[in-house]
């Protein structure tokens, strides 16, 4: 009995727990990890709080603080403005979107990196073939110019205000426009009622 007790005390009891220590070599102790995470979070919050202890009284500080608050609302309101402009003037919006089609892929990646760094997110790393994208964008220029011309041509065909279709003096067209359409469901219902 004494030997079994010594073995169990060696493995599970006493000052050290061999099983726990062995497992912690391969897997982090969740409780200790949570304590370390809370400590890191607490220290970060203290550092961020220190920034606001310094009174900012100068015009430069106030100006920079104001500028730091602008990008998020500007991006949100700008995006909503794009939706409104697409509904109000689809041809104007289409012309602008054709211009955006010429922006090369690396420039979109650069914009994404700048925005993601500004908002504190991590940017994705991807191998880019810069020359291929530039050549691809330049190759699309004639098509984009043709699309813009086609869109501007539609502006001449599209009236600014909706109007009623004018049949003119054509009696056959007037008769065809005012004649009721055949309704198969209504006819079937009428036949079933007889």
- Does 12 or 150 have the greater pLDDT score? 150
DSSP string, 39-65: HHHHHHHHHHHHHTTS---SHHHHHHH
- Residue 158 pLDDT exceeds 70: no
* Range name among 16-30, 33-47, 132-146 with the lowest pLDDT average: 16-30
In whole numbers, what is the pLDDT of the chain averaged over residues?
A: 78
Q: Which long-range contacts (CB under 8 A, 24 or more apart) does 137-146 make?
A: 137/102, 137/103, 137/104, 137/105, 140/101, 140/102, 141/102, 144/98, 144/99, 144/101, 144/102
* Range name among 8-12, 89-93, 139-143 with the lowest pLDDT average: 8-12
User: What does the pLDDT look like over 52-97, one tens digit per residue?
Assistant: 777 777 888 888 888 878 887 888 899 899 999 988 988 888 888 8
């Amino acid at each position: 009995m004494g030997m079994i007790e010594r073995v169990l005390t060696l493995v599970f009891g006493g000052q050290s727990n061999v099983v726990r220590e062995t497992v912690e070599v391969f897997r982090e102790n969740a409780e200790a990890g949570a304590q370390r995470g809370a400590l890191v979070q607490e220290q970060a919050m203290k550092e961020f709080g220190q920034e606001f202890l310094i009174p900012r009284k100068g015009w430069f500080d106030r100006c920079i603080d104001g500028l730091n608050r602008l990008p998020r609302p500007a991006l949100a309101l700008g995006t909503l403005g794009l939706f409104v402009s697409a509904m109000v003037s689809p041809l104007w919006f289409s012309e602008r979107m054709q211009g955006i089609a010429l922006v090369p892929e690396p420039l979109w990646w650069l914009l994404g990196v700048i925005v993601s760094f500004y908002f504190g997110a991590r940017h994705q790393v991807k191998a880019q073939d810069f020359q291929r994208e530039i050549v691809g964008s330049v190759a699309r220029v004639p098509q984009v110019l043709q699309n813009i011309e086609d869109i501007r041509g539609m502006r001449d065909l599209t009236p600014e205000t909706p109007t009623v279709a004018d049949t003119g003096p054509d009696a056959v067209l007037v008769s065809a426009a005012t004649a009721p359409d055949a309704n198969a469901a209504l006819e079937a219902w009428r036949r079933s009622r007889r």
